[in-house]
Each structure stands twice: as C-alpha cells, then as structure tokens.
Structure 1
C-alpha cells in the first residue's frame, strides 16, 4: 500500500516545465539579477557607427523567402535589404506587443503591495520593456527603414485584449511573443554575417528577456492551476487567436517591395515556404510544450495554431 501511495504522490509532482517557486522568492532573485546585469541601450549601443553594406539585417535562414526559388534568384543586395526590412518588421511587432504587455502588467499589480518583490520586479520589467521598445524603434531608424507595425485593424482588435486580459491568458500570451523573438535573437547575436547593430540589440534583449520569460512562466503556472474548465476553454481560444496574430504579423507585406521584389509573387512564395514554416515551429516549440503541459493548448483552438504553423 505504501508503494502505491508513493507512486500516486510522484504522479502528482509537477514536471520540470511546470514548477513554480515561491512568488516573492522568485521575484527577489530576478531583482538581484536585474541589479547585476541590465543595460541602457542609449549608452551601450554605438548609434553613430556606420551601417556596413555587406551584412544581413538578421540571420538569412529566418527570412520569409529563404529556401524558395525567389530567394535563389535574388541578388545579394536584395537579400541584405530584405533581411534588414524583415528585422525591422519583427522589431515593430515586438514594440506593439511590448506595449500590450506593459499595460497588462500595470493592471495585474494595481492592487498589490508595492513593497513586495513581486510588484517591484513587475515594475522593473515594465522599465525594461520601455527601453527595449525605444531600442527597437531607434535601430529601425538607424537602418533607414520604415516603422513597420501590424495592420491597423489588428492593432484595433487587440484593444480589448490589452484592456482586459489577466492571469494565465495575459502571461501565456506574453510567452508566445517573447519566446519566438528570444529564439531568433539568440541566433542573430551569434551570427557574424549579421549587422553589428542587430547583434548588439539582440544580445541586450536576450539577457534581459530571460528574466521576463521566467517571471511569465511561473505566473502562468500559478494562474492556470486555479481556473475552471470553462475558463480553460476560453483561455485556450483567446490564446490561440493572440498567438496567430503575433506570429502572422512578424513580417509586414510591405518589406518585399522595399527590396525591389514583385510584392504579390513574394507574398505567395512566403505563404508557401515550408522552410519558414519549419523555422516558426522551431521558434515556438518551447512555448507550445510548456503551454500544453499547463493545459492552455488543446482542443479546437489548435486549428488556429496549425494555420499559423506554430504546431
């Protein structure tokens, strides 16, 4: 009987993915990490340095046309130009969602005691995101490219989400935006083929975002543990919609004309690019595994995730 009891106890233990420490203890550790390693992009980045003309804006393997016949036919200069514009587009989507995240965090801590480590780290994260958004915007301007953003109707439709999303929905949605960008930027910052500006921006974001990801994951675990089945179904659906629009908004369709390409043909090629779909799935794999483990991916909502090539 004791053997059976031990086995059932072990079965109930959280997996490595879904462990969450004490909220205040985790926040204290994250605050200490932020005190040791944080950056001011206005100082850390040499904004006056020239932009090399022979380096990609990001790792070309992440380009939406990489692996297509159109990519093979492009000149090297067109490839460089396209990757610079796509990097700026990804950053623009990042700014959009970071603005949403900042509002969700402020709402989430509004009634909490500001003397606690949890609230203080949330405020630290908000400050980080302000700097990151400024950094992304300034890097696009340095490259001399437009300020790409998701379509107006998508930004408008997101207003209810940013105004009302709470708990596991807010933090789970945050992970979809943060973790795919983190995966990309870990590759960008190590890639010597990539512009120094992109590499430095990526390094700063990766270091600071690691704390944000841990914070969001642990909060997702805590909040998801206390929702009803009806709430779970709702969170799954809205989370899938959020992930769909985040991922499909990464590459603004105007980037193709900027590289001197036939926009309609390029959009068609990107839409059917199996290589890019595989990269998106790889970029979202950790998020999908985690959110599945905590019960926030499943059921009919997975159809939207498949349409966006997230799963």
Structure 2
C-alpha cells in the first residue's frame, strides 16, 4: 500500500469531498425536546416484521411503537459498530504498512467519534437507554497479521455498508421527523467517504494474502468467518429487548420466527448485495 500512488492521493480527495459544509454534530444539531409518540421513527419498510404476516397482525399504533424502539436499536447498533471500528483503526494508525492511510484514519476516527456521541444522545434523550451489544464475538484469525488486517477492515466494510443502507433510506423518508432524517443524513454522508477508504484498503490486503499463498481452504475459511459476521450483524436488527419495549410478547420466539422467514431472508440479501458483490468480485466466497 505504501507504493500505491492512487492511494496516496486518496486522503486529499476524501477531505475535498467532505466540503466546506462539514458540520460538527455536537454544535450544530438541533435537538427537539421530544419526538411525537404517534409517528414513525423508523421507516415501516425497514422494520424487522416488514413483509411478514406478523406485521399484518399489528395495529398502526403497535407498528409506531415498534418503530420507536427499532430506531433506538438501530442507533445502539451504530454506537457498538463505531466502537469496534475505532478500536481496529486505532490499532493500525501509524503502524508499518499503514503509513499512507493514517492521515485518512485520523479524519475517519474523528467523524466516527462524533457520530457515536450523536447517536448516543438520540438514544438517551428519546429512548432513555442504549441497548447492549449482544452480538457474539468471532474468534481471532490466528497469528497471520495480514489476515487479521483484512478481516478487520472487511468487518468495518460490512458495518459501514449496512448502516449506510439504512441511514440513506431513513434520511430520505419524509414520513420521519426532521431530527431523525438529519441524524441519518449526517451519518450517511460521512459513511460514504469511509466506505471508499475501506474498499481501497481491502483490495491490496486480499491480494497480499493470495500472493503469499492463501490456499483454497484458507479462502473458504475466510469466507465462512465473514459469512458468520454478516448473519450476526443482520440478526442484531431483531432485538427481543426492542420487542419487549414495544409491548410485543415472546420476543425471543418472535426473533427466531422472523429470522427464519423467507421474506426477511430476501430483505437481508437486498441489504447486503453491495457488500457480498464486492467480496465476490475480489474472490472471497460469502453466503447470507
């Protein structure tokens, strides 16, 4: 990566793309005192019950309540994903092999730290809680540092593209309160630049692995590891705690039934198609 001329130019392009209108959420975000309890806080088409018979069984009032808590859950997931991103980036900034992207890492970390504070403020102001991170931690890849680097940035890409899919939809949904749209617009605009950086990192890391002799077994093992992460991340959108807070009974059973539902599995494939398409193009076999 240190000899890649195009990559050396990337930090400047990313900074230029941020534009002069880049805002600090702490100082410019206008928090309303409350959000209407009888309106959607999350697009109905993004709810975890959408497209299933379970959605048909809920009244509009129940769907609005579910949207409130799934909005809080989405913000909580974003907070936890950002925390993991910051940890992985901090481990690599100004280390051998990452000299060139370190300038971009600083900007990425600053923006992500602001997003974490913004999403935490939303959860605490309007939900009174941040849901805990209950996603299972995947085992370490072992002693190969290049493989560890690749998996770290591949997981960041998964996180950024999933959150980007949701935040882009939420930012454009005129049924939602302007504060919710603004929150997600900030996230989506910055996240698009972060994705560009991470994609540019992943390609040479994967090429380095294959050139070093990563065999078919190693390629498949890497694909299985990322497939598990993809599925675990999507499963996080089905929160028994959010179902409980929305007044729905048997949240754990509902979660299982929804995760097994063909309509929800199709929705997952739609959310993940950019990520799985990219990984497939570079030769990483993943399934959802």
TM band (smaller chain): 0.7 to 0.9
- Which of the residues 208, 229, 232 maps onto 2:214? 229
- Using the alignment, how far apart are the partners of 1:131 and 1:187 within structure 2? 21
Matched, 1:262 2:249: yes
Instruction: Tell me the equivalent position of 1:251.
Output: 238
CA spacing shift, 1:268–1:102, aligned 2, 3 Å: closer
Query: Does 1:202 pair with 2:184?
Result: yes
> CA deviation digits over 1:153-180, x for unaligned, max 9?
72xx35857x977432121111111111
* CA displacement at 1:113 relative to structure 2: 9.6
Q: Give the C-alpha shift of residue 39 in structure 1.
A: 2.3
Alignment partner, residue 151 of structure 2 = 169
Which residue matches 2:32? 48
Contact 1:31 1:117 in 2 (8 A): no
Q: Which of 120, 123, 126 is the equivalent residue of 1:137?
A: 120
CA offset at residue 117 of structure 1? Answer: 6.0
2:66 is matched with 82
Counterpart CA distance in 2 for 1:85 and 1:263 is: 16
Cα distance in 1, alignment partners of residues 206 and 26 from structure 2? 38
Q: Please name the residue that 1:13 is paired with.
A: none
- Report deviation, 1:127: 0.8
Cα deviation for residue 268 of structure 1 reads: 4.4
Tell me, yes or no, if the aligned pair for 2:75 and 2:119 is still in contact at 8 Å. yes
TM-score normalised per structure 2: 0.86
Map Cα deviations across residues 196-215 of structure 1 (whole Å, 9 max, x no partner).
22211110000000110000
Q: Which runs of 5+ in 2 are unaligned?
A: none
In 1: Cα distance, 2:47 partner to 2:131 partner: 16
Name the CA distance, whole Å, in 2 between partners of 1:54 and 1:29.
Answer: 43
TM-score by length of 1: 0.80
Q: Distance in 2 between matches of 1:239 and 1:69?
A: 31
Asked if residue 26 in structure 1 is aligned to residue 26 in structure 2, the reply is: no
Partner of 1:9: none
What is the CA distance between 1:69 and its match in structure 2?
A: 2.7
Q: How does 1:64-143 map to 2 (within 5 A)?
A: 64-111=48-95, 118-143=101-126
In the TM superposition, structure 1's runs of 4+ consecutive aligned residues that sit over 6 Å from their partners are none
Query: Looking at both structures, which has the greater relative contact order when contacts are Cα pairs under 8 Å and sequence separation is at least 6?
Result: 1
The structure 1 residue matched to 2:266, chosen from 278, 288, 296, is 278
Contact 1:51 1:143 in 2 (8 A): yes
CA distance in 2, matches of 1:159, 1:222: 23
Question: Residues of 2 paired with 1:267 and 1:239: CA distance?
Answer: 22
Deviation at 1:244, TM superposition (A): 2.4
CA contact (8 A) 2:238 2:255 kept: no
CA deviation after TM superposition for structure 1 residue 216, in Å:
0.4
Partner of 1:12: none
CA distance in 1, matches of 2:116, 2:227: 24
Matched-pair contact (CA < 8 Å) for 1:68–1:269:
no
Alpha-carbon contact 1:64-1:273 (below 8 Å) kept:
no
Structure number with bigger Rg:
1
